[in-house]
């Protein structure tokens, strides 16, 4: 007899998690609570309720987390200008700590003994979900079916559905994508299929959110993005909620062929994996945020942020959002953003984003000093001679001792 009486499952309503509901019921003889998160994946989440009910689930949670996702997770990450391995904007990674948090909250509310997820044993998501869960509720039991069962192919999953009379409709008439996809308000990802061959170019009809740069309009789109304390708050003077703002940036970027990415990344579990991503709004936001920081941040603060960013990105990618070191870094990053206020004018054109203007009441850009014209004594160019000689002192001493430079 299992000591697991109730499990909260992160439930999408798709094939894998529907099988997991029945598998948990049969294997552990337990009650299953389903949790479906709306984080802007662009698909109706309410049908998951009927599917869960058909599987005998009595407690069903379907939560709209879009605003919390962008406000409490996406925006804090973008304050750090975060990218992983020089390219990836961490769209999947940043959603996992929110889902883990809500899983634990529901487990506490319902008195569940365990949580469960549909992440495979090959990927990063199992790590992200579970590290978050253990950080938030140390004694929680985690059940990861893909690490326990032998249903390791779609054919076996379908056979299991047939044998256990799982009422899941997979014949909607829509052509099933050959890719494994994950979407939220920040991005959509594609893995599997032809992408498992690193030399093969992704098919054009794979992309869902953006036109190709070649097909984008021949005239540029100009927008102005307003920032307050490092976060975007308005587009072209229209103040929007975090989720609405990111959604609008996605549409603007997608229409101009912005945000496509094709990379081979290093997973935390040790393997290399090829993935394609569309992050139109995030790509615009990253460019704009760096532009407003360029005139508002002190030089050494900006450079220190750039040094810390790869470590911060690695923490998020590997699942350590709830770690003390991430929170420590976040405190330093957030402190730097108090002066990151103002506007950035951006040009969107055929896959590119260019900052063409920036202004701020907190700007450190001094036209009197920076000008190539007469600065009326604002900067004494003679001061540069001593500055250069002092900085060259160690080099001159070494050269005087005959140290070779090559």
The residues annotated as belonging to the active site are 16, 96, 125, 180
Residue 278 main-chain phi, psi, to 5 deg: -120, 120
CA distance 91 to 277: 8
Of 267, 326, 316, the residue nearest 89 (C-alpha): 316
Contacts of residue 38, Cβ cutoff 8 Å, sequence gap at least 6:
45, 62, 63, 64, 65, 66
| DSSP code of residue 339 | G
Sheet holding 352-359, edge to edge: 238-239, 231-235, 221-228, 342-349, 352-359
- The CB density around residue 247, as the number of other CB atoms within 10 Å, is 18
Please give the C-alpha separations between residue 287 and each of 71, 72, 99, 248, 315, in angstroms, as whole numbers: 19, 20, 28, 16, 22
CA distance 343 to 359: 5
Q: Is the CB of residue 355 less than 8 Å from the CB of residue 162?
A: no
CA distance 378 to 299: 20
Angle at the Cα of 205 (from 201 to 207), degrees rounded to 5? 80
CA distance 10 to 118: 7
Tokens describing residue 220: 């540029």
Q: What is the dihedral of CA 256, 259, 264, 265, to 10 degrees?
A: 180
Angle at the Cα of 28 (from 24 to 32), degrees rounded to 5? 45
Q: Distance between the two ends of the chain, CA-based, in angstroms?
A: 73
Angle at the Cα of 79 (from 97 to 77), degrees rounded to 5? 15
Residue 335 main-chain phi, psi, to 5 deg: -60, -40
Alpha carbon 328 to chain centroid, angstroms: 20
Tokens describing residue 34: 């389903």
């Amino acid at each position: 007899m299992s000591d697991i009486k109730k499990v909260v499952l992160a439930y999408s309503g798709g094939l894998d998690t529907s099988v997991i509901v029945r598998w948990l019921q049969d294997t552990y003889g337990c009650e299953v609570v389903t949790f479906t998160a709306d984080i802007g994946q662009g698909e109706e989440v309410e049908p998951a309720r009927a599917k869960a009910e058909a599987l005998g689930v009595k407690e069903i949670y379907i939560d709209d987390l879009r605003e919390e996702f962008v406000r409490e997770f996406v925006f804090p990450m973008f304050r750090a200008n975060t990218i992983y391995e020089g390219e990836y904007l961490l769209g999947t990674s940043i959603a996992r700590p929110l889902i883990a948090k809500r899983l634990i909250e529901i487990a506490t509310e319902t008195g569940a003994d365990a949580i469960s997820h549909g992440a495979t044993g090959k990927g990063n998501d199992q790590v992200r979900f579970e590290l978050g869960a253990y950080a938030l509720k140390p004694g929680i039991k985690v059940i990861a079916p893909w690490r326990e069962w032998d249903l390791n192919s779609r054919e076996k999953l379908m056979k299991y559905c047939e044998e256990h009379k799982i009422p899941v409709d997979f014949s909607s008439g829509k052509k099933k994508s050959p890719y494994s996809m994950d979407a939220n308000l920040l991005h959509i990802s594609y893995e599997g299929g032809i992408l498992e061959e690193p030399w093969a170019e992704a098919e054009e009809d794979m992309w869902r959110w953006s036109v190709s740069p070649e097909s984008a309009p021949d005239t540029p789109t100009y927008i102005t993005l307003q920032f307050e304390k490092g976060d975007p708050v308005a587009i072209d003077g229209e103040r929007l909620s975090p989720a609405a703002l990111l959604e609008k940036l996605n549409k603007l970027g997608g229409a101009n062929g912005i945000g496509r990415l094709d990379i081979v990344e290093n997973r935390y579990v040790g393997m290399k994996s090829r993935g394609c991503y569309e992050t139109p709004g995030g790509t615009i936001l990253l460019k704009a945020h760096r532009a407003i920081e360029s005139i508002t941040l002190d030089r050494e603060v900006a450079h220190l942020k750039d040094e810390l960013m790869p470590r911060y990105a690695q923490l998020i990618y590997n699942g350590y959002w709830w770690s003390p070191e991430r929170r420590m870094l976040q405190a330093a990053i957030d402190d730097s953003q108090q002066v990151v206020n103002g506007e950035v004018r951006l040009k969107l054109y055929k896959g590119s984003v260019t900052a063409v203007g920036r202004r701020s009441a907190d700007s450190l850009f001094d036209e009197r000093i920076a000008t190539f014209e007469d600065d009326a004594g604002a900067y004494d160019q003679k001061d540069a001679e001593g500055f250069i000689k002092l900085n060259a002192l160690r080099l001159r001493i070494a050269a005087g001792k005959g140290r070779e430079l090559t």
